[in-house]
Amino acid sequence: MSDEHAADIDRHVRTYILVFFSLMLLTVITVAANFLLHLSVAGTIALALFIASVKGSLVACYFMHLISERKLIYWVLGFTVINFFGMLLIPLLTESDKIHY
């Protein structure tokens, strides 16, 4: 193993440890905010999902190495994300177009 490669891996490992502590901190914040901040239901949902999105991004970018992945993977995931949000939108659109008897 070359020195350059070893240094590269060491840098990765330092990032993993930093991400690990960030995820732990964000988990504590999620739970604490839920019990300490008396937000409305909408506010609680928005805050919890925002923190979850940040945590998810950290896992995807650094643990799954998406931050330095090939273009084809981004295309596959981009297409998936569009379909995913489309699917989440369907029930909301259905709800906003209720039939009243």
Kindly list the residues in this chain that would bind other proteins in the complex (CB under 8 A): 1, 5-6, 9, 12-13, 16-17, 19-20, 23-24, 27, 30-31, 34-35, 41, 44-45, 48-49, 51-52, 55-56, 59-60, 63-64, 70-73, 76-77, 79-81, 83-84, 87-88, 90-92, 94-95
- Residue 85 beta carbon to other proteins: minimum distance, rounded to whole angstroms: 9
Please identify, using beta-carbon distances, which residue of 17 and 67 lies nearer to other proteins.
Answer: 17
CA distance 92 to 86: 10
Q: Are 26 and 51 in contact (CB under 8 A)?
A: yes
- Residue 10 beta carbon to other proteins: minimum distance, rounded to whole angstroms: 8
- Residue 56 beta carbon to other proteins: minimum distance, rounded to whole angstroms: 5
Burial grade of 14 (CB within 10 A; 0-12, 13-18, 19 or more): exposed
CA distance 78 to 99: 34
Structure-block tokens of residue 64:
């799954």
